[in-house]
Amino acid sequence: MSATERSGGSTALAAGLGLLALLAAAGSLVIGRDGGGPTFGFGGPELAETIVREIRLPRTLLALLVGGTLGLCGAALQGLLRNPLAEPGLLGASSGAAFGAVVMFYFGFAGASSLLLPLGAVAGSLLALAVLYALAGRRGDFLTIVLAGIAINALAAALTSLALNFAPSPYAALEILFWMLGSLADRSLAHVYLALPLMVPGWLLVVAAARGLDALTLGEDTARSLGFDPKRTQALVIGGTALAVGAAVAVTGVVGFIGLVVPHLLRGAVGQHPSRLLLPSFLGGALLATLADIAIRLLPPGPELKLGVVTALLGAPFFLHLVMRSSARDGSAP
């Protein structure tokens, strides 16, 4: 298949995914959950307006934005590290953000304003990034980044557990735990306004690295000879991911699996060029997160399931199927 055909496939795929994401978003506005299960009616027109505008709209927007962010950053990181296991959580952005949130909760700031908790998360994500740079930024080789990311993740997880140990009440510990599984329940437009100004520059930084990522598929030395500075590409992707994922974790908690699975699902359709994977991964992530959030509302009565749990439940079987199909085909994992 020629490069132009691939490129055309990528555009068609993006259009299809975008359409599906819009349909899913429309569904998400209509389907509610009244404690006992899905509801499609609204009650009176005034109540319907309030429910859609104040509760379901922010929820739907955040599903699209957070899912898109995770898909986009996952695709970029897999390209940057040339490792199919890369995902936003790998850099410590997610766990750093979660730690920031937990600290806010532990010191009781979260009670003062529900926006302080997210701000703590952004600070944690940026701190994790700063440490990553201090450890590995100057050397710039990708193995060091992966190892540093693993160390930062372990440190952030340990610090989070430490904070939990000191939490003044078991109820607080439980809240934090639930928060770390990711949820979109009862977020408001204020959370959209908080996350979006950080997400958009993050996306732009990642997208600015697209050509550099393509060059990197040929190897660092070749990329350099083509005029792309691997360190600049790396700075763009890591900085963009920290901003966008930090903002995402800030408002929804840690939602796993989207960043890992979505680029994999789509790579077969667009080929090996990381740049062509970015937009489809963004839209695919938005679609998966929205579908997962709808699935939560279709489940039988009970307390609401966490978004991170559902994305893993939906994503993992797909992922396994893909791994098994491709290993049956060519005897190697994708």
Partner 1 sequence: MQRPITPTSRARAPLAAAFAAVSLVATASAASLPKVASINLCADQHVLALADPEQILTVSWLAADAEESLLAHEAQRHTLNYGTAEEILKLAPDVVLAGTYTSPFTRTMLRRLGFNVVELEPEASIADIERNVRIVADVVGQPARGERLVVELREGVRALEARRPARRVGAVIVRPGGFTVGADSLADELLRLAGLANVAAERGLDRWGSLSMEALLRSAPDLIVLTGYRASQPSLANAVLEHPALESLGATHRTVTVHTALWACGLPRSIEAASVLQQAVLE
Q: Which residues bind partner 1 (CB under 8 A)?
A: 32-35, 43, 47, 50-51, 54-56, 110-111, 114, 117, 168-172, 174-175, 183, 185-188, 190-191, 301-304
Name the 3-class secondary structure at 300: coil
**Paired tokens of 121:** 């998360």
C-alpha span between 204 and 149 (Å, rounded): 23
| Residues 316, 94: Cα–Cα separation, whole Å | 19
Q: Which is nearer to partner 1, 53 or 321 (CB)?
A: 53
CA distance 160 to 100: 9
Rounded to a whole number of angstroms, the minimum distance from the CB of residue 55 to partner 1 is 5
CB of 185 to partner 1, least distance (A): 6
Among 284, 315, 234, 324, which Cα is nearest to 69's?
Answer: 284
Q: How far is the CB of 302 from partner 1 (least distance, A)?
A: 7
Tell me how far, at minimum, the Cβ of 173 lies from partner 1, in Å.
9
| Cα Rg of the chain (Å, integer) | 20
CB closer to partner 1 out of 29 and 323: 29
- Please say which residue, 303 or 331, places its beta carbon nearer to partner 1: 303
Measured CA distances, 143 to 100, 102, 136, 204 (Å):
26, 30, 9, 25
Report the residue number, 287 or 294, with the smaller CB distance to partner 1: 294
- Residue closer to partner 1, measured from CB, 60 or 78: 60
Judge whether 101 and 120 are in contact, CB under 8 Å: yes
Minimum CB separation from partner 1 for residue 188, in Å? Answer: 5
